[in-house]
């Protein structure tokens, strides 16, 4: 057993090494002034030979990351005149959803961090979320099945008002779309899929160049050509792959990935309580964490990680049995409640110079679930990270570049960080008169985002591993970690800041 564990740990450490080796170190950021010649060129919506539309930017994938990029580009003075194509066959992009507060909740939700809220507020999108159902939470409790410890977090620990906000996917997506529509941003939505892409020969892409065999103009030769599912084509100076974990752009551009599957699935669904839930709860069970996230009114969302066979069983069991299982998992099942012992905290009192608000809060039992309020959906979980984020004329953002375990609700927050940084770098490129598809410009985006994404992936990976191994000494170490995180104030503040989207490392600051 010990040898097996040791082998698993060694394998995981070497996997993380592969990820860490792909760090880049260069950090460069210049401010620039407006280059009129270039911005005029960007204002022009051109139709070049044989009536193929040309765009400054083609965003492939109008999900969260793609729409966030459109939203940021629409709100920055230097980029709002760009001519942008958004390619996605998702019907949500075609018909404006009118979401009412009493509509049935979407079982897919996102926990957005304060950093993301701030990006979205500045871009004018957050006001649309505020008009719909959403729930901010200012408290969080994390514990495990051994009953050896727990950690409470409170927004007041870091002088913030909220730790995060839970928003249904359809609400957030519709907010991004509404914001883009409310501006005079020149965007064209293609309700189609990208099928093929042709890049110029100097690109690092493995895609075969077809331009040389046609009598195309020099302008066309210097652009990417995208072929769409109805047989039509468009050209673009920059192709942004925001097309999710199975990215076609990534595949066509020949970007390699480092990836592995967790032998875990996540069941998600919406549940109802008899009272309003205002706290985010997460309990680590032997087969994975279960999270109960408030989404407003008396509803919460469940994200429950477990083995594929357990998820198959729990997806098909009747609603009442499932609700009972959820209540067991969040309360008395698998092991005892941790004791709210301030005595244990005294062990750390020498480090607890300025105690946080939450350090003396007692362990609480989450509110009981009374009813299942949506269908149950099952997702396979995997980790994936692309080795290169950018080459000439192509760049990846969101899940197309990285897919993480949902245990800390960070996936789309990383994608929003990518979209924000890319929009800023495109704006800087325009200001300096650069071609926005040039690799040296796009590499600056990679230099900024890759270390931040890899660091978050490494943190999530260690959590995932540490909490799925049931082994005596490790359980004690985990308990010490709970106590440390609960009672050592600088550590607790550092964890909250990092999880909130601050770009600091999760160490003492």
Residues in contact with ligand FAD by the rule CB under 6 A: 60-66, 87-88, 90, 110-111, 193-194, 242-244, 248, 266, 268, 303, 379, 398-399, 406, 409-413, 415
CB of 222 vs ligand FAD, minimal distance in Å = 23
Q: Which is nearer to ligand FAD, 89 or 475 (CB)?
A: 89
Q: Which CB sits closer to ligand FAD, 11 or 90?
A: 90
Q: State the nearest-atom distance from the C-beta of 351 to ligand FAD, in Å.
A: 31
Smaller CB separation from ligand FAD, 90 or 387:
90
| Minimum CB distance to ligand FAD, residue 13 (Å) | 25
CB of 115 to ligand FAD, least distance (A): 11
Q: How far is the CB of 173 from ligand FAD (least distance, A)?
A: 9
Question: Which residue matches tokens 């979205």?
Answer: 120
In the complex with ligand FAD, the residue whose CB is nearer, 325 or 418, is 418
Q: Which is nearer to ligand FAD, 230 or 319 (CB)?
A: 230
Q: What is the DSSP string of 350-403?
A: TT-SS--GGGGPPP-PPPPEEEE-S--EEEEEEEEEES-SEETTEEE-GGGTEE
User: Considering the complex, what minimum distance in angstroms separates the CB of residue 292 from ligand FAD?
Assistant: 12
Q: Which is nearer to ligand FAD, 455 or 479 (CB)?
A: 455
Cβ neighbours of 190 (radius 10 Å):
22
Q: How far apart are CA 243 and CA 208, in angstroms?
A: 21
Closest CB to ligand FAD among 426 and 431? 426
Handedness of CA 369, 374, 379, 381 (dihedral sign): negative
Nearer to ligand FAD, 357 or 379 (CB): 379
Tokens of 192: 């189609």
- In three-state secondary structure terms, 439 is helix
- Nearest distance in Å: CB 26, ligand FAD: 25
Min dist CB 386 to ligand FAD, Å, is 12
The rounded distance, in Å, linking the Cα atoms of 364 and 366 is 6
| Exposed/middle/buried for residue 70 (C-beta within 10 Å: 0-12, 13-18, 19+) | buried
In whole angstroms, the minimum distance from the beta carbon of 436 to ligand FAD comes to 20
Residue 282 three-state SS: strand
Token pair in block for residue 151 = 């950690």
Measured from the CB of residue 342, what is the shortest distance to ligand FAD in angstroms? 32
Between residues 191 and 345, which has the closer beta carbon with respect to ligand FAD?
191
390 — phi, psi (to 5°)?
-150, 145
Q: How far apart are CA 137 and CA 283, in angstroms?
A: 17
Q: Chain-centre distance of CA 13, in angstroms?
A: 23
* Shortest distance (Å) from residue 483 CB to ligand FAD: 26
Closest CA to 360 of 374, 343, 336: 343
Do residues 55 and 84 make contact, with C-beta atoms less than 8 angstroms apart?
A: yes
Our CB check for ligand FAD shows the closer of 7 and 380 to be 380
* Beta-ladder partners of 386: 257
Reduced to 3 states, what is the DSSP secondary structure of residue 48? strand
- Please tell me the distance from the alpha carbon of residue 173 to that of residue 227, in angstroms, as a whole number: 26
**Alpha-helical regions (H) of 55-124:** 64-75, 114-122
DSSP run (H or E) holding 412: helix 411-431
Q: 503 or 509, CB closer to ligand FAD? A: 503
Burial environment of residue 126 by CB neighbours within 10 A (0 to 12, 13 to 18, 19 or more): buried
């Amino acid at each position: 057993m010990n040898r097996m564990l040791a082998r698993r740990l060694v394998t995981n450490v070497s996997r993380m090494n592969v990820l860490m080796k792909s760090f880049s170190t260069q950090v460069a950021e210049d401010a620039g002034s407006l280059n009129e010649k270039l911005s005029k060129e960007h204002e022009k919506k051109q139709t070049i030979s044989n009536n193929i539309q040309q765009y400054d930017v083609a965003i492939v994938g109008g999900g969260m990351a793609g729409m966030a990029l459109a939203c940021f580009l629409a709100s920055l003075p230097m980029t709002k005149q760009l001519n942008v194509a958004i390619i996605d066959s998702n019907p949500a992009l075609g018909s404006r959803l009118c979401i009412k507060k009493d509509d049935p909740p979407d079982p897919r939700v996102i926990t957005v961090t304060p950093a993301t809220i701030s990006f979205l507020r500045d871009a004018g999108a957050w006001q649309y979320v505020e008009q719909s159902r959403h729930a901010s939470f200012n408290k969080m409790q994390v514990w495990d099945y051994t009953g050896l410890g727990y950690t409470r977090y409170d927004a007041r620990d870091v002088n913030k008002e909220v730790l995060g906000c839970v928003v249904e996917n359809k609400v957030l997506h519709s907010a991004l779309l509404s914001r883009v529509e409310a501006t005079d941003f020149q965007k064209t939505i293609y309700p189609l899929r990208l099928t093929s892409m042709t890049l110029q020969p100097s690109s690092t892409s493995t895609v075969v160049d077809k331009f040389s065999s046609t009598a195309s103009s020099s302008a066309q030769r210097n652009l990417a050509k995208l072929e769409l599912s109805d047989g039509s084509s468009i050209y673009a100076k920059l192709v942004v792959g925001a097309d999710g974990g199975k990215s076609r752009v990534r595949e066509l551009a020949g970007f390699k990935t480092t990836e592995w599957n967790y032998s875990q699935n996540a069941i998600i669904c919406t549940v109802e309580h008899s009272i309003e839930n205002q706290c985010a709860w997460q309990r680590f069970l032997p087969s994975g964490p279960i999270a109960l996230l408030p989404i407003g009114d008396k509803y919460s969302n469940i994200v429950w990680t477990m083995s594929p066979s357990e998820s198959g069983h729990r997806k098909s069991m009747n609603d009442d049995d499932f609700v009972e299982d959820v209540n067991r998992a969040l309360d008395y099942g698998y092991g005892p409640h941790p004791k709210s012992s301030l005595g244990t905290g005294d062990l750390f009192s020498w480090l607890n110079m300025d105690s946080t608000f939450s350090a003396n809060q007692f362990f609480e039992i989450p509110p009981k679930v009374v009813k299942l309020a949506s269908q149950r959906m099952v997702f396979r979980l995997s980790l994936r990270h692309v080795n290169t984020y950018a080459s000439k004329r192509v760049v990846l953002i969101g899940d197309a570049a990285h897919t993480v375990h949902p245990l800390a609700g960070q996936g789309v927050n990383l994608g929003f960080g990518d979209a924000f940084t890319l929009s800023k770098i495109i704006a800087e490129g325009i200001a300096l008169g650069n071609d926005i598809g040039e690799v040296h410009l796009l590499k600056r985006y990679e230099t900024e985002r890759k270390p931040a994404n890899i660091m978050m992936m490494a943190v999530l990976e260690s959590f995932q591993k540490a909490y799925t191994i049931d082994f005596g000494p490790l359980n004690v170490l985990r308990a010490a970690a709970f106590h440390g995180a609960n009672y050592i104030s600088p550590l607790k503040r550092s964890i909250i800041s990092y999880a909130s989207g601050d770009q600091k490392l999760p160490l003492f600051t």
